[in-house]
Amino acid sequence: MTPTILAAILSLLPTPPATWTETPDDYRARAGVIAEAIAAETPSRYWALGVVTVFWHESHFRRSVHAGTRRGDHGRAICLGQHQRNGRPREQWEALAGVDAEATRRCARATYRTLRRAQGWCSQWGSVRAGILATFTAYGTGRTCSASRAAHPSWFHARAATHARLVGRFGS
């Protein structure tokens, strides 16, 4: 599954922007680490592509976010999945960041588990499993499964569209 995940990552960002201080070869090697981590921490291509989608929309695979030197949400979100502490001990939360294989796996694992929790949370309100739009909305807001109730509904529709394109291209 790793080659497919790497292809999906590179389809979204084939080379790093010129403003990054990362060479194309370094970026591709780091993308390989990300792909291996996602493959190791997800049970299926569908969920692997879900994690790729989250990483893309939350961080655009930026090295500074991956390393933890740049944090989102006013310093409250860390790693490619932009996880907030949410009750984690500070040391455990900070361990999600890092470009090495183990830190990347921790971030991928946390992202996958949070996606599945979001899906489960949204599913409790209906009689069927929550769809990917609801899942991405709950992941991103932590408050609602309805994109229309989110402050930026277009963000979650874009995530669902990205995931659909990736699944259409790389399979589920």
Domain borders along the chain are 2-111+153-170
pTM of the model: 0.94
**Least trusted range by pLDDT, from 12-26, 54-68, 100-114, 124-138:** 124-138
Residue showing tokens 């946390």: 110
Q: How far apart are CA 99 and CA 119, in angstroms?
A: 28
Predicted confidence at residue 72, as pLDDT, reads 77
Mean pLDDT of the chain: 93
Predicted confidence at residue 111, as pLDDT, reads 97
- The values of phi and psi at residue 86, to 5°, are 45, 50
Instruction: With a cut of 60, say whether residue 57 has pLDDT above it.
Output: yes
pLDDT tier for residue 76 given thresholds of 50, 70 and 90: confident
Over pLDDT 90: what percentage of the chain?
85
Token pair of 5, please? Answer: 């995940």
User: What would the pLDDT profile of 114-169 be if each residue is shown by its tens digit?
Assistant: 999 999 999 886 655 679 999 999 999 999 999 999 999 999 999 999 999 999 99
Instruction: With a cut of 70, say whether residue 85 has pLDDT above it.
Output: yes
Across 52-58, average pLDDT: 97
Token pair of 150, please? Answer: 């989110």
